Amino acid sequence: MKVAVKVMPRREVLDTQGRAVGEKLNRAGLTLESCRVGKYIELEIQESERDKALDKAKEMAEYVLYNPLIETFEMEVVEP
């Protein structure tokens, strides 16, 4: 099963990468209100049960994929 983990900077944290991209776009005339840049990690897990796959993905996310101080994460099954 393929599970995706989306890791985004917390609202209250300054997202320097997102700000840089947003400013670049605005200067180029491609106006936008705001921009946030995060990570998208696709995990191919050998597990056919949805709940078990999500549990494993959560364990992986908490182990190494995100930093709880400055980021939050969401998961989604992208391929059964």
Under the rule (CB under 8 A), what is the footprint of its own copies? 6-8, 18, 21, 24-25, 28, 30-46, 56, 59-60, 63-65
Distance CA 67, CA 72 (A): 8
Query: In this complex, which beta carbon is closest to its own copies, that of residue 11 or of residue 69?
Result: 11
Distance CA 31, CA 59 (A): 39
Q: Smallest distance, Å, CB 70 to its own copies?
A: 15
**C-alpha torsion 52→72→33→24, nearest 10:** -100
Q: Smallest distance, Å, CB 40 to its own copies?
A: 4
